[in-house]
Structures are given as C-alpha cells and as structure tokens.
C-alpha cells in the first residue's frame, strides 16, 4: 500500500511573496526606474505641480517616441512632464538629463531619468519607451530654445516618432500644463544627418507655435509674466 509523504517545500516562493508585500521597494525596472517609489512620491509631486495634460491621442499606444518639451530655466519641465504623462498614460515615461553622479543622478534614475547621450536614448526608444527630452532652457516661459539634433538623430535612426510637448508652469503656483502635439513630419526625406538638423528645427518651430497658441501675458518682463501665470 503506497503511503503519501509530504515533502518539505522550498521556501523561495513563500519568501518572495512575503517580502514582496513587506518591503517598500522590491525591485526596479531594467533602466533603474522604481515604479513603487514613483507611486509613493506622487502625492509630493502633486503638491508642487497640478498638471493638466492635453493631446494624449498623439502618443503611440505601445511604440516608443521621443517627446521634446520646452524648458524655462530651473522649471524642471522634463520631470513634471514625464511624471504627468506617466500618470495619464499608465506607462513609464523616462526623461533625459540625469548627471552620472551620486546622489542626484542616482535619485533621478529612480524616477526614470536617462543620461543625455544619444546611444542611451536610442537604446530606450528601441525598446518602445516614451522618452522626454528638453529643448535648451530659456529665461522666458513661452520661448522654445534650440533642440539638440544629436538626440533627435537617435529617434530618427530608431524610426520612432518625434513629438513636441508644450509645457508651462509657474514659479509661484501649482498650475502647470503639458500639451502633446502631433508627431513631426519632415518636409523632405533625407538619408543622412541633415534629417536630424531639419527635424530639430521643425520641433522648435512647432513648440513655439504651440506655446503661442496656449496664450498668456507677454509684458516683455519675464518676472511679471511668471507672476501673471500663477
């Protein structure tokens, strides 16, 4: 007569399940972004920025895309744009511009920041990631600065869309806006690096047009404009 013997189970699965629920952050994704930490700190970011997002229909559902946003100096627009878009689309949105040093670079990596390196951006885009990069920072909130054509080149060689995202925030208030535009379509098909330059210029033009359409006070004095937007 056979006898049923219960063998001792390996505790791996049980340990994993228990620790998963107890530990604050169990793991990070393949780029070092910590989804759990992002979720926990989201209310803190909401204290600083109340971002209204528009134009989400322009974002690809699954494929990667390079999103180019304007930046007023020290406004941290890539951070709040990526955070707001991640919340709105429910997929991780990364942003370019972490320093390769601790502790700032290490902390930003947990939020999904990438190095400002075309190869790094190309790698992320190839894996279907949404990546936000900033145009060169300006002192005026409604001016779009020049766009780094080398990073645009990463998107072109990967074959993903380049999409302008107009962003506005206030120095004083919480109100902020991120408006996603339509993907840039170059006027001419180029085979070489000229495409990078032309698309970069087109993105800047589109961004400027979107910022103009968003309206606002233009006194010519940046501090007064900022206060007016609060």
Partner 1 sequence: MGGELGSLVASLLEAEAWVGQLCGIDVDPPRRRLRKAEFHRIEPSDRERIVDVVTAFDPHVLIHLAVWEPHARAGTNHARQFTDQATTSIVGAAAECRSLESIVVRSGIEIYGRRKQSLTRPDESVAAHPTSDFGQMVQRVEAVAGAAGARVGVAVGSLRLAPVLGPHVPSPLGRLLRQPAVPFSVLADPPFTVVEDADAARAFVAAAQRRLDRPVNVVAPGAITGLQALLRGRRLPLPMIGPEWALTRRLSHVLGAPIPDHVLELMHRGRLADGSLALEALGVTPLVSTAAVIDRLYAWPSVVRVPKAIKAVA
Which stretches of the chain bind partner 1, using CB under 8 A? 10-12, 15-16, 19, 23-32, 100, 102-103, 106, 109, 114-115, 117, 119-120, 123, 126-127
Query: Shortest Cβ distance from residue 63 to partner 1 (Å)?
Result: 15
Nearest approach, Cβ of 15 to partner 1 (angstroms)? 5
DSSP 40-69: HHHHHHHHH-EEEEE-GGGS-SSS-EEEEE
| Beta strands at 113-114 and 50-54: parallel, antiparallel or unpaired | unpaired
Closer residue to partner 1 (CB): 11 or 192: 11
Would you say 134 and 70 are in contact if contact means Cβ atoms under 8 Å apart?
yes
Given a contact cutoff of 8 angstroms between Cβ atoms, the answer to whether 70 and 138 are in contact is yes
Nearer to partner 1, 106 or 197 (CB): 106
**Least Cβ distance, residue 26 to partner 1 (angstroms):** 6
Comparison of 29 and 212: residue with beta carbon closer to partner 1: 29
Dihedral sign from CA coordinates of 158, 97, 81, 39: positive
Minimum distance from CB of 158 to partner 1 (Å)? 12
Length reported for the chain:
230
Q: Which residues contact 164 (CB under 8 A, 6 or more apart)?
A: 67, 68, 69, 180, 181, 184, 203, 206, 207, 210
| d(C-alpha 212, C-alpha 215), whole Å | 5
- Report the nearest approach of partner 1 to the CB of residue 97 (Å): 13
Q: Which is nearer to partner 1, 2 or 22 (CB)?
A: 22
Smallest distance from partner 1 to CB 90, Å: 19
31 vs 87 by CB, closer to partner 1: 31
Cβ partners under 8 Å of residue 219, min gap 6: 225, 228
Nearer to partner 1, 110 or 177 (CB): 110
How far apart CA 150 and CA 157 sit, in angstroms, is 11
- Give 109 or 177: the residue with its C-beta nearer to partner 1: 109
Q: Single out the residue of 50, 67, 77, 198 nearest to residue 143, CA to CA.
A: 77
Q: Minimal distance in Å, beta carbon 5 to partner 1?
A: 19
């Amino acid at each position: 007569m056979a006898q049923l013997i219960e063998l001792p189970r390996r505790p791996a699965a049980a340990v994993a399940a228990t620790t998963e629920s107890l530990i604050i952050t169990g793991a990070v994704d393949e780029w070092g972004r910590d989804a759990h930490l992002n979720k926990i700190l989201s209310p803190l970011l909401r204290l600083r920025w109340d971002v209204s997002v528009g134009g989400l229909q322009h974002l690809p559902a699954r494929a990667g895309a390079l999103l180019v946003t304007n930046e007023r100096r020290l406004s941290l627009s890539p951070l709040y744009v990526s955070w707001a878009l991640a919340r709105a689309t429910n997929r991780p949105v990364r942003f370019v511009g972490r320093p390769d040093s601790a502790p700032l670079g290490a902390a930003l990596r947990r939020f999904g920041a990438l190095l400002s390196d075309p190869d790094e951006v190309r790698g992320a885009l190839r894996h279907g990631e949404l990546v936000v990069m900033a145009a060169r920072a300006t002192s005026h909130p409604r001016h779009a600065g020049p766009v780094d054509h080398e990073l645009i080149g990463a998107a072109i060689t990967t074959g993903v869309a380049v999409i302008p995202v107009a962003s506005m925030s206030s120095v004083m208030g919480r109100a902020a806006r991120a408006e996603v535009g339509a993907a840039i379509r170059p006027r001419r098909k180029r085979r070489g690096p000229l495409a990078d330059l032309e698309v970069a210029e087109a993105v800047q033009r589109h961004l400027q047009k979107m910022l103009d359409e968003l309206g606002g006070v233009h006194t010519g004095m940046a501090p007064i404009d900022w206060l007016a937007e609060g």
